[in-house]
Amino acid sequence: MVKQTVYKQTRLEDYTPPEYLVDTTELVFSLNETKTIVQARSRFRRNPAAVSGDNTLRLAGEHIQLLQLRLDGEAIPHSRINLDEHHLAITGVPDSFVVDIKTLIKPEENSALSGLYLSEGMFCTQCEAEGFRRITYFPDRPDILARFSTRIEAERKRFPVLLSNGNLVTRGKLGTDQHFAEWRDPFPKPSYLFALVAGDLVCHKDRYLTCSGRHIDLQIYVQPRNGHKCAHAMASLKKAMQWDESVFGLECDLDQYMIVAVDDFNMGAMENKGLNIFNSKYVLASPESATDQDYLGIEAVIAHEYFHN
């Protein structure tokens, strides 16, 4: 007998606003295949639209290990913490505060293709719909928008490319064999649009001049063996950008726009702000192996994900 899954019905009329909002989230990733350390600092404030007045902060978290937890720089008494396999709750929080959380995750063991995982030796994330809770404890719901900044640290030789949402702020060396990159996304977004990629990739580059005269750096990252298969994808991206400007008067609002092609991806593509992650099928094409339908599919999916911006 096959056991059937029973899904809980969700109605709009049952919606309740979150008790707390997040203004900013600062992330630091120390990447390692077996044990990645994530440090998250989030600034919370009470939601004026909240209805209950409850002073308990409730965060989602799955398949992660809590290493450290602080509120406004101070350790929290165990009596105020409730932790289970799906949630972290802190009672008695004020109207505005900062929470520091350190977690340990194991990308090598993550076969769900949700959260942070490995794809052919490359770190990759997929956070839609509820994958961010596999990275750190967070109010992982689409009606909470925060400004994210991300610092990525990894071994320089094996992971020379370190990417995240937004614009690159700085990068440099750490000791003899490590390096880092810091990214800042100036636009508030829900956690399901967070993205991170780290690996040995080659970059197909171009530039786009917007209708207001701004130059946007366009970058498509692929594995070295696929570097010759990006021309149509880049042409499709520029075509979509021009169409959005000519029809709606909307131009790209970041300094750079990136696409990464991943073989192990559980969707066709994902519209993470400024860092779209694609199934390789919808990026790579060459006349020797691709059909007309393949070319049309790439053009359609790249446009679709770009228009999400």
Radius of gyration of the chain (CA): 21
Q: Which DSSP string corresponds to 86-115?
A: SEEEE-S--SEEEEEEEEEE-GGG--SSSE
Measured distance CA(219)–CA(168) in Å, rounded: 13
Question: In which residue are the tokens 């029809």 written?
Answer: 247
259-to-148, 243, 294, 303 alpha-carbon distances in Å = 19, 18, 18, 12
* 256 contacts: CB under 8 Å, gap ≥ 6: 167, 168, 216, 217, 218, 219, 274
DSSP 217: E
| Per annotation, catalytic residue among 128, 153, 251, 305 | 305
Does 305 participate in catalysis according to the annotation?
yes
- Beta sheet of 269-270, edge-to-edge order: 202-209, 215-222, 256-262, 275-279, 269-270
Q: Rounded distance, CA 246 to CA 35, Å?
A: 47
Alpha carbons 143 and 18: distance in angstroms, whole number:
8
Catalytic residues, by residue number, are 305
